Structure 1
Amino acid sequence: MDRPALHEFFGQIGHGGNSLYVIRLAAQITKGSKSRNIFFIPSPHQQETGLLNAIVLPVALQASAIFIHPAHSRDILWAFEECLRSGQAACVIAEVPFLDLKASRRLQLACERGQSYAFALCHDTRGMEKSSVARTRWQIRGKNQNLWSLNLFGGKGVRPHQWIMER
């Protein structure tokens, strides 16, 4: 991930592979960034999904983590864009159903303006069929408790590829 941009991750609700992999990426990206925060925007239905949760954060991220809890699903994209645009975020991770072309473009522009990475955790796989300006688009599936399948299926200037990752 060479420069700040939008990245989409599609995965199964409740398996955690989606969020755990993205949290590891965020930890790598922000390793040298002590003055900027990581914003987490979980779905208002977080208790049901169990994806973004402060308990699963590595110790190195806990000091810079800020959780934003929108009351309604309709406020997630607004909060996502505002955090990116602010210049205060090294990275913003948000749970969204999926992004349409207009929303992905707005988020990409906000990334460029605020020099922030955006990781959209999309739990509705129908969004995989929609157009997007995301730099990379991934599908993450749990094969079992210790293995994940990572499928890079689209993005700007990338070749599709698949990996099997161990937890």
Structure 2
Amino acid sequence: MRPDPAPADPFDLRKARVHEAEGRGRRAFALLQAARHPGPLVWILPGHVPELPMLRGLPQGVGARLHLLRPASEVDLLWCMEESLRAAPVGLVIAEPEKPLSLTAGRRLQLAAEKGRTTGLVLIRQDAGSPATETRWHCEAMAGPVADSTLHDWTLTKNKKGTLGHWVVNWDGTSAAFTLVPKVGERRQLAEPAR
């Protein structure tokens, strides 16, 4: 079986599937996906986690569509995610479980995403992924060339339907627009002026 050709947009998550992001930059990756997916957004965090997305710090248009759920337990978190994935009008479901997902839990989430035609993104701790996930991303922040700039180092480490890849992304965090930073030695130089 041949892998699918690489999509024109490497960050286009396959619809009706559940994906994972790990690493210190996983929330930035989730915010980019939230800005790119139309419709209602559901973000599920454990009830005791003190860090919440700040509405004024979200990309444009995301705060008005965001529904934040704070279940009391890990079982409730998985139930919330499964039910949110089944809800057809939801564009994206983001969840932050504290424990690794079992194969059974991962498969249940995949079936729920297929039924609701909804995309899921699970923000996991390092090496806590489920074998049932469609793709897994490793996301880290990098220092940018200027003080106001943040570069993102995103690596696709698992892909059931295609190839793997690595990208350095310059994203300002305010919209769905981003630029890919070319590798060293592949930067385009200005043409020498004619003499």
**TM-score under structure 1 normalisation?**
0.81
Match of 2:45 among 23, 42, 47: 42
Say which SS state the counterpart of residue 91 (structure 2) adopts: strand
Q: Give 1:80 shift.
A: 0.5
Q: What percent of counterpart residues are identical?
A: 29
Task: Name the structure 2 match of 1:83.
Answer: 84
| Bigger proportion of residues as strand | 1
Structure 2 residue 92 is matched with structure 1 residue 132: no
Alignment of 1:1-167 (within 5 A): 1-12=13-24, 17-30=25-38, 36-47=39-50, 50=51, 52-97=53-98, 98-122=100-124, 124-128=125-129, 131-144=130-143, 146-167=150-171
Say if 2:93 and 2:120, in contact at 8 Å, map to a contact too.
yes
Q: Give 1:51 shift.
A: 6.1
Moved more, 83-92 or 111-120: 83-92
- In structure 1, runs of 5+ residues without a counterpart are 31-35
Query: Which residue type is aligned with residue 127 of structure 2?
Result: R
Cα distance in structure 1, aligned partners of 2:127 and 2:64: 35
Query: Which residue type is aligned with residue 11 of structure 1?
Result: G
Cα distance in structure 1, aligned partners of 2:102 and 2:56: 31
Say which SS state the counterpart of residue 83 (structure 1) adopts: helix
Cα distance in structure 2, aligned partners of 1:44 and 1:55: 21
Change (3 A) 1:144 1:45: farther
Say which SS state the counterpart of residue 157 (structure 1) adopts: coil
Change (3 A) 1:156 1:62: same
Task: Report the count of equivalent residues.
Answer: 153
Moved more, 52-61 or 68-77: 52-61
Query: Which residue type is aligned with residue 19 of structure 2?
Result: H
- In structure 2, runs of 5+ residues without a counterpart are 1-12, 145-149, 172-195
Aligned alpha-carbon RMSD (Å): 2.0
Superposed CA offset, 1:88-116 (max 9, x none): 31110111133221111111100010111
Task: Name the structure 2 match of 1:33.
Answer: none
Change (3 A) 1:151 1:125: same
Say if 2:84 and 2:90, in contact at 8 Å, map to a contact too.
yes
Change (3 A) 1:53 1:118: farther
| Bigger proportion of residues as helix | 1
Higher Rg: 2
